[in-house]
Amino acid sequence: MRRFTVLCAGYFASMTGTALTAFALTVWIYLETGSTIQFAFGFVLSLLPAIVLSPFAGALVDRWDRRTVMLASDMVGVGTTVTLATVAATGVLQPWHIFITIAVRSAMGAFLVPALNASVTQLAPRTQLGRANGMVMTATAVSQTVAPALGGLLIVAIGLPGILLIDCLTFLLNIAILVQIRIPQPAPAGVSAAGLLGEIGQGWRYLGRRRALLPLLAFYAALNLAVGFVDVLFTPLVIGMASVAALGAVLSVGGIGMVLGGVAMATWGGPPKRIHGIAGLAVPLGLFLCLGALRPNVVLVAIAAFGFQFCSMIIEGTSRSVLQMEVEPGMQGRAFAAFNMATNTVLFTGYMLAGPVSERIFDPLLRAGGPLTDTVGTVIGVGPGRGSAFLILLLGLFVLVVAALGYLSSGLRALRDDAPLTAPTSTGAASAGRPVGAGTAPSLEPAAGTSSAGR
């Protein structure tokens, strides 16, 4: 685990710089333009290129040396950061400069994420995959929790060019660490005579033929749909009942839950029976969503945010471990890319639908004098943000239904911690029965958002 721990430290430094830059760029766009449309466009660009490129990136990651892919990704990050810092320092920075940077970094992430995911099984023992994923998730959670508070101070003290310089230095630190670490390259699996497009199809077919992976994909996609809505609705929910300062406090409490969830995963590794770490933790996840929407009370929302983030980290870490155990190393780039493309597409759909659905359908229902003020409104309240609360309450119930369906899935129920399930017997299935990680050196991936395996 020593090499993995060093790699994880470099990843933490790089993620902290990236999170600082992301915070500073979004603040700059909103302060300079005052446009929520341009602000939202940045979110779209942060996801769309990665979704489109994921299938191609996954197939290429399985062809190429994964350390080289990560080094190239960080070098592109250095290039975009230096360019943007130069433009900002000369005083000619425009929103379109930032949009190009966001799009390039999103495209870069399409290659980085599957390369990091697939490297975990090459650097961490198979029995330690849950803990290894927990370490990466903790690094991500800490960086995302610290960045808003630290970024708010730094953007006043050193400005956007200074923050970009810090980001550049963290990229260079991670590059220096990657150069020193050897990541074993697995034997290629399922190389297709049909070329790149054929190999992309193999990733999708692999997921479809494995007993547990297709139910896991459907389960995780359903959770990501709820997460996409909640991410967008959370801010109007809190501001509708309190203040911007209260929103910051609630986000901080949620960040603590995220960090502690990652720490729990890193020290514990997740439950031996994987169904309990996936569908089992989705039960309190749904209940926390319901709790946060039940009353216009900041304390309840803060408790819900803490629990939601804590449970999300365990679900994400467990899901990653399942993919790393069930997919042979030489196929992991394609399999992770296909999985991420599907789940992130659903997440993106949630982002796109949340605003219109809440504003046009649910908010009017719980305005003063609205159709549900005398029924639902007597329970969850009436006024600004309560339509969003009602929608979040329904999403919590949806997550509980998804959890129940997860427990009904024979594929998910059969998952174990110590061994992959039997490979599919379909003709052409890759390396039937070969245990993932067998024979590899005594690994890494960012969390996404829920994502992670996906988000």
What are the tens digits of pLDDT across the range 226-252?
998 888 788 778 877 877 677 778 878
Q: Dihedral of the CA atoms 123, 1, 275, 219 (nearest 10)?
A: -40
- When mean pLDDT is compared across 31-45, 51-65, 366-380, the lowest value belongs to 31-45
91: enclosing H helix or E strand: none
Domain range list for the chain: 2-182+195-413
- The vertex-340 CA angle with 334 and 341, nearest 5°, equals 90
Indicate whether 436 pLDDT > 70.
Answer: no
Cα distances (angstroms) measured from residue 446 to each of 21, 111, 453: 17, 12, 8
For domain 2-182+195-413, give the fold. Growth Hormone; Chain: A; (1.20.1250)
Indicate whether 16 pLDDT > 90.
Answer: no
Tell me the C-alpha distance between 223 and 270, whole Å: 19
Task: Mention every residue, 6+ apart, whose C-beta is less than 8 A from residue 86.
Answer: none
Summarize pLDDT for 320-346 with one digit per residue, the tens. Answer: 888 878 888 777 778 887 888 888 889
Summarize pLDDT for 293-303 with one digit per residue, the tens. Answer: 998 889 999 99
Judge contact between 4 and 132, C-beta under 8 A. Answer: yes
Tell me the C-alpha distance between 24 and 147, whole Å: 9
Query: At 273, which amino acid appears?
Result: K
Judge contact between 384 and 296, C-beta under 8 A. Answer: no
Of 3, 26, 11, residue with least CA distance to 125: 3
Tokens of 178: 């990657």
Look up residue 295 and give its DSSP letter: S
**Average pLDDT score over the chain:** 80
pLDDT of residue 438: 29
Look up residue 362 and give its DSSP letter: I
